[in-house]
Amino acid sequence: MSSSPSGDRPLQLSPEVEQARAVGLPVVALESTIIAHGLPRPRNLDVARQLEDIVREEGACPATIAVLDGVARIGLSSGELVRVAEDPTIRKLGQRDLPVAQAFGASGATTVSATAWLAAAAGVRVFSTGGLGGVHRGFAESFDESADLGVLSQTRVTVVSAGVKSILDVPATLERLETLSVTVVGYRTASFPGFYLHSSGRPVDWTVDTPAEVAEVMRRQDTLGVRSALLVANPVPEAEQLDPELHDRALAEALAAAEREDVTGQRLTPYLLAALVRDTEGAAMEANLAAVRGNVRLGARIAVAYGS
């Protein structure tokens, strides 16, 4: 690998984010893994632009985060967004990969863990995504748990998501979030969302009804010096969720196929997600995108409320 050209610039704000900071406009972080690795081309670029436009419509500034040539970019130009969407060599970077990527001038799309950490490092308080990682099924045998949870336990950022990916062990993930002192609130719901589904069937302890209420919780975190994240669990609308029976059937078939083919470790999540999209004839992807759009809109409204 070649040496990094980034020098002593570990973070670089885009001109749009710099201008937003100068005039006091709230900023919302967006991840880039969904662009580079989560959606087919060319739809991925259209979705990336749409999500940024939703943030702007709500009176905030989008900051899609990625690492390009060893530099963490907090906000991307139009050309950089195209590069992330179209370059097949773009890696997937978690928080643990950031020092290596910077040291060797690598380029990559950021996962939830990397995006949350970089957003907080850049002073961006709100981050909208689709679904979090969590504790995997069969954890007692594999000890497989997403790095998202550990990072959120140490990072004061408000994450708006549709729960955790439904291929995971949702009850175990909620237990881990409690153990790690990550505050979870349901947005206009008393049930934890199920990513593709409106509800996972698991309760949440706290419900908030407005962006202003979320902003007030964030201010109390500031006052108390809380260092962990606030997770705002925002369910996909029932009218846009994946049919629950279809979801359960497709997931059971995907899990059985993964076991037969001995798909484990880092290969398992993308395998299961791809199988769900394939076996639901794309309906799972549409439910995912509906959730992401709703989370981005809510995240922008929370950022505006927090900044007012």
> In the numeric block, which tokens belong to residue 256?
């059985």
What does the chain look like in DSSP terms, one character per residue? -PPPS-TT-SEEE-HHHHHHHHHT--EEEE-SHIIIIIS-TTHHHHHHHHHHHHHHHTT-EEEEEEEETTEEEES--HHHHHHHHH-TT-EEE-GGGHHHHHHTT--EEE-HHHHHHHHHHTT--EEE-S-B--BPTTHHHH--B-HHHHHHTT---EEEESBB-TTS-HHHHHHHHHHTT-EEEEES-SEEEETTEEEEEEE-S-EE-SHHHHHHHHHHHHHHT--S-EEEE-PPPGGGSPPHHHHHHHHHHHHHHHHHTT--GGGHHHHHHHHHHHHTTTHHHHHHHHHHHHHHHHHHHHHHHHH-
Relative to beta strand 158-161, strand 126-128 is parallel
Q: Is the preceding omega at residue 203 within 30 degrees of 0, hence cis?
A: no
Residues with catalytic roles:
31, 165
